[in-house]
């Protein structure tokens, strides 16, 4: 028989229907760690840190923030929701006594506000240039003596992120890297990438750009009111402003009780929704 003769039809061919049908039979149950089916969330073989947001944990592989890897958070600008997003997880990690490390934050940490969030131990690494941030980030990750690391990298190449990812593989703590939203189309070794931005007063919108699992087209909306303001800001103050209906007189009240654009809420006046004050 010639070596070039046609193979029997009973053998599965690459890309054929028989080959696809044989895949589920190889692993009829759970897949080994590190593998996942395209339509299912990947299973994390390592412990995760619950984010504190049930809607988000339901969409994260393993049900929380991963360790031994970097998590990339993309923002339109710094200071627009990262503390509300990470606050519950950071408080859980700080309870263990390990410090939280900030590398190159764009703004000076607000110490009274930081203390009010029950995050007592903080290590702030000041780094201004891109080279200083990357060098400081690598030294922090190599030390491993922290509960969580938050790193701001406005400028970073994929090769530099791979070095951070390699260093994070030896850690048992989450590492969050903040980058501008313009970097979402760039290559990244981070297995988890999210975009976040404020959506409305007291709300935060997230989009999963990359995860170990199927794509998620719908955004995730979370409550983003700091815990210290939950009992101070009245609920109507968190509504997005609405334009008055056609024919509504200036200063008139909306039918659902929300203030018109000519009014504002004194958020610190108390929890009584009826207390409006005309600006």
pLDDT band for 223, please (50, 70, 90 cuts): confident
Lowest mean pLDDT segment, chosen from 23-37, 44-58, 103-117, 222-236: 23-37
pLDDT band for 241, please (50, 70, 90 cuts): very low
Residue 31 lies in a domain: no
Residue 120 lies in a domain: yes
Residue 79 to residue 86: CA distance in whole angstroms: 12
Residue 227 to residue 203: CA distance in whole angstroms: 13
Strand (E) or helix (H) holding 114: helix 111-116
Domain containing 79 equals 48-229
pLDDT digits over 112-139, tens only? Answer: 766 666 666 888 999 989 999 999 999 9
Q: Which of 192, 214, 229 marks a domain boundary?
A: 229
What is the mean predicted confidence (pLDDT) over 23-32? Answer: 56
pLDDT over threshold 50, residue 10: no
pLDDT of residue 212: 83
Instruction: List Cα–Cα distances, 77 to 81, 178, 182, 198, in angstroms.
Output: 10, 10, 10, 11
Q: Are residues 216 and 251 in the same domain?
A: no
Q: Are residues 187 and 257 in the same domain?
A: no
CB-count burial class (<10 Å; 0-12, 13-18, 19+) for 265: buried
140: tokens are: 């922090």
Q: Are residues 152 and 242 in the same domain?
A: no
Q: Which of 121-125, 179-183, 209-213 has the highest mean pLDDT?
A: 179-183
Q: Residues 6 or more apart from 229 whose CB is under 8 A from it? A: none
pTM for the model stands at 0.70
What proportion of the chain, given as a percentage, has pLDDT over 70?
A: 61
pLDDT of residue 202: 78
Residue 1 lies in a domain: no
Residue 39 lies in a domain: no
pLDDT over threshold 50, residue 188: yes
Q: Are residues 182 and 57 in the same domain?
A: yes
- Please name which of 82, 79, 40 lies closest in space to residue 65, comparing C-alpha atoms: 82
Residue 155 lies in a domain: yes
49: tokens are: 């840190």
178: tokens are: 């903040």
pLDDT of residue 150: 96
Q: Are residues 80 and 190 in the same domain?
A: yes
187: tokens are: 């290559």
| Contact (CB, 8 A) for 243 and 106 | no
Residue 150 to residue 153: CA distance in whole angstroms: 10
């Amino acid at each position: 028989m010639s070596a070039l003769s046609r193979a029997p039809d009973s053998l599965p061919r690459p890309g054929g229907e028989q080959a696809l049908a044989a895949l589920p039979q190889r692993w009829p149950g759970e897949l080994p760690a590190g593998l996942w089916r395209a339509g299912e969330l990947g299973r994390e073989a390592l412990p995760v840190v619950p984010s504190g947001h049930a809607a988000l944990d339901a969409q994260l592989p393993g049900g929380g923030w991963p360790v031994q890897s970097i998590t990339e958070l993309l923002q339109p600008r710094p200071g627009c929701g990262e503390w509300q997003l990470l606050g519950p997880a950071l408080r859980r990690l700080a309870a263990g006594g390990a410090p939280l490390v900030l590398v190159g934050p764009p703004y000076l940490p607000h110490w009274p506000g930081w203390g009010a969030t029950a995050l007592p131990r903080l290590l702030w690494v000041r780094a201004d240039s891109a080279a200083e941030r990357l060098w400081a980030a690598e030294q922090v990750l190599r030390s491993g003596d922290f509960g969580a690391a938050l790193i701001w990298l406005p400028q970073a190449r994929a090769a530099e992120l791979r070095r951070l990812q390699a260093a994070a593989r030896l850690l048992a703590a989450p590492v969050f890297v903040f980058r501008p939203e313009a970097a979402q189309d760039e290559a990244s070794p981070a297995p988890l990438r999210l975009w976040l931005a404020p959506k409305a007063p007291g709300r935060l919108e997230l989009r999963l750009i990359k995860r170990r699992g199927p794509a998620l087209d719908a955004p995730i909306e979370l409550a983003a009111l700091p815990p210290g303001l939950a009992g101070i800001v009245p609920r109507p103050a968190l509504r997005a402003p609405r334009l008055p209906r056609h024919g509504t007189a200036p200063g008139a009240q909306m039918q659902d009780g929300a203030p018109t654009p000519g009014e504002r809420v004194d958020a610190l006046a108390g929890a009584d929704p009826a207390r409006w004050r005309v600006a």
